A and B are shown apart, each in its own frame.
Chain A
Amino acid sequence: MKIFIYKSLIIFFLIIIGFKLTFTYAQKTIERKIDNLGSKENIDSVKDKLRSQINNAVKKEDLIKSEDAALINKFLEKIKKELKEDN
């Protein structure tokens, strides 16, 4: 009987440690990533990066290349035309 109790106690202890080292470890890692991603500082930092990229773009003489501009123009004309046809 007592051997059974000792074995049960040890197995119980090992299961808890095993659970913590696998499941809880993974859970904590994911929670930490989500926590970092959603943190105010991270959101602010992304906003700042975005602002700086837009600023850089505004400073450039040509925002887009002439051949890209022509392509986008054609694409928009095509969409306009199709929208008119549908109506």
Chain B
Amino acid sequence: MKSISNRLLSNCHYIFFSIYFLIGFSIYKDYGFNIDETFQRRSGLYWLEYLFNFFGLEKLSLIANEKLLSSSSFTEPWSDVYGIIFDVPAALIEIIFSLNKPIQMYEMRHFLTFFYFYIGIIFFYKTLLLRFNNKFLSLAGCFLLIFTPRIFGDSFQNNKDLVFLTFFIISTFYIFKTFENFNIKNIFLLAIFSSIATSTRLFGLIFPFTFIFIYFLSILSNKDDLKNINKIFIFIFLYILFLLLHWPYLWISPLEKLSYLLNNLQTFGPTLVYFNDVFYNTELVPFHYLPLWIFISTPVINLILFLSGFFLLSKVFILKLFSIEKSKSNYDFWNNNNEKKDFFIFITFIIFSVIGIFFATKHYNSWRIFYFLNFFFIYFAIYFLSLIFIVPKFKKYINILIVVLSITSLFNIYKIYVYHPYQSLYFNELLSNKFKNKFEIDFTGLSGIKFLREVVMSDKSNEIKIGINSWYPLWRMKELLPEIEEKRVVFVYDDIKNADYVYSNKIYNVNVKLSDKFSLDDTFTLYKQHFVDGILIYEVHKKIK
């Protein structure tokens, strides 16, 4: 009996990852469709056709081109600047498996997004194991990250920010491996994954910079490290090489294109954001935009553990800073590889926080662009838990802590159940329902397909005229309905007065407090409002006959 339980304990990570995979596999079809997905699909097909042409695969290029042309009606506007690490494999799968119905294409993309994130979580486990050398703490970290509701929901449909989070985690793993063993193999892998992270989101540029910065600090403390400078040059060379190799956007005039991208970040995304009951120009949001979003949409337990860990780690490094002259250690900020890893995490988090609060050119769509910060929150949380497990004077509190953690984790799971499939729109318990509705909610239009499916189910007319009373291209979702139902749905666009139903996800491109652009006349009556946990996801008005 004892040997069975020991076996179970030693294989608990396999059990954990198998259960997680089964959960993901059984629910990935439940999720709504993100408006960016059509955009990203076209990007994948465009670059796939380009690559087939480049390598002289004419027949395949024709197939990709055919798909690309068929996608043009519901995938505009789009841009060719995006990295290809998700979109091109997705486009390739679409061709290999002859996925011709839009619903199949998008469900495949949802599964692929989940699969990428699943790989990311395995690397997260390995990263935490490499640092804390404790299987249970590493699994606890994975558990906290997976069951962060906004991450859980986005891991099935956000194929930009969650894909970036995945490569961010993998790159951090190889940075840690490189700290442990400064050999060519680790440098090679670090260069590959950090370049992929960079093409997915430019935030990936942090890896070469912090890696070199930390090397610079190690030379300042210990001149012997100068012997490794050739490896640093190899890393820089490989990083640039892989960046150019896997990002076709940079194949012609790379410097000009990279500089164009860096100087035109503000051109992406909407121009108006609803934040704390005020409409802001997305380039002029207040400095508290990112901290407030994090504070209101991260589970309370994650916040408490993160702040405790961050406080303790900050204390360690500030004390080190003030005792540099007295220090007898080889290095000023770390005594061993684990402290070096903590220092990397600490510095990177500070840099990203400063960028996010003070230097971001634009903020919109809640804080999804900065969702990768959840990696840091959980790392600091596990750092705090590791101290409690290690420091003898805290050991008496372990049982209490385990009970508290279990209850709060169960509460997170309950919230995920309540929000399903809208976990991406989660707000924590610190907010009243009234306050939750003072922020933009369904900014990616996840609810659109639910509305269309419901309306074709309840209304059996030959023609259902639908109007849209918000800034959202609902017509892109029409193709996702069964063919018979699709034919019955007619969008009335500007002629909203003739609509039978008017849908709104309450996302606007004008300040509706001053403008009447989205006001309806009294020939319409409120037909339905869909609330989840007190937040209004969408509403439907119906024409009075």
Q: Which A residues form the contact surface with B (CB < 8 A)?
A: 2-3, 5-6, 10, 16-17, 20-21, 24-25, 28, 31-32, 35, 39-42, 44-45
Provide the residues of chain A in CB contact with B280, threshold 8 Å: 32
Contact assessment for A40 and B510 in the assembled complex, using a CB-CB cutoff below 8 Å:
yes
Given A3-B324, A3-B325, A25-B287, check contact A39 B511 (CB 8 Å). yes
Q: Which B residues form the contact surface with A (CB < 8 A)?
A: 220-221, 280-281, 284, 286-287, 321, 324-325, 332, 354, 358, 510-511, 514-515
Provide the residues of chain A in CB contact with B284, threshold 8 Å: 28, 31-32, 35
Provide the residues of chain A in CB contact with B511, threshold 8 Å: 39, 41-42
Contact assessment for A45 and B514 in the assembled complex, using a CB-CB cutoff below 8 Å:
yes
Contact assessment for B510 and A41 in the assembled complex, using a CB-CB cutoff below 8 Å:
yes
Given A32-B284, A45-B515, check contact A17 B332 (CB 8 Å). no
Secondary structure call for the A interface: helix
Q: Which 7 A-B residue pairs are closest in the complex by CB-CB distance?
A: A41-B514, A41-B515, A20-B358, A45-B514, A2-B220, A41-B511, A32-B284
Q: How far is the CA of A24 from the CA of B221 in the complex (A)?
A: 36
Given A25-B287, A44-B514, check contact A6 B324 (CB 8 Å). yes
Contact assessment for B281 and A32 in the assembled complex, using a CB-CB cutoff below 8 Å:
yes
Q: How far is the CA of A82 from the CA of B286 in the complex (A)?
A: 57
The 8 Å CB contact of A42, one of B221, B286, B332, B514, is B514
How distant is A46 from chain B, measured CB to nearest CB, in Å?
Answer: 9
Q: How far is the CA of A39 from the CA of B284 in the complex (A)?
A: 14
The 8 Å CB contact of B332, one of A2, A16, A20, is A2
Q: Nearest CB to that of B513 among chain A residues?
A: A41
Provide the residues of chain B in CB contact with A2, threshold 8 Å: 220-221, 324, 332
Q: How far is the CA of A41 from the CA of B510 in the complex (A)?
A: 7
Pick the most buried of A3, A16, A31, A39: most chain B CB atoms within 10 A of its CB. Answer: A39
Q: How far is the CA of A17 from the CA of B359 in the complex (A)?
A: 10
Contact assessment for A28 and B286 in the assembled complex, using a CB-CB cutoff below 8 Å:
yes
Q: How far is the CA of A81 from the CA of B286 in the complex (A)?
A: 58
Given A2-B332, A41-B511, check contact A17 B287 (CB 8 Å). no
Q: Nearest CB to that of A27 among chain B residues?
A: B284
Q: How far is the CA of A25 from the CA of B280 in the complex (A)?
A: 15
Q: How far is the CA of A42 from the CA of B358 in the complex (A)?
A: 28
Provide the residues of chain B in CB contact with A24, threshold 8 Å: 358
Pick the most buried of A16, A31, A32, A41: most chain B CB atoms within 10 A of its CB. Answer: A41
Provide the residues of chain A in CB contact with B325, threshold 8 Å: 3
| Contacts A/B (CB < 8 Å), 27 sampled | A2-B220, A2-B221, A2-B332, A3-B324, A3-B325, A5-B220, A6-B324, A16-B354, A17-B354, A17-B358, A20-B287, A21-B287, A24-B358, A28-B284, A28-B287, A31-B284, A32-B280, A32-B281, A35-B284, A39-B511, A39-B514, A40-B510, A40-B515, A41-B511, A41-B514, A42-B514, A44-B515
Apart from the given pairs A41-B511, A41-B514, A45-B515, 17 other A-B contacts in the complex at a CB distance below 8 Å: A2-B220, A2-B324, A3-B325, A5-B220, A6-B321, A17-B354, A17-B358, A21-B287, A24-B358, A28-B286, A31-B284, A35-B284, A40-B510, A41-B510, A41-B515, A42-B514, A45-B514
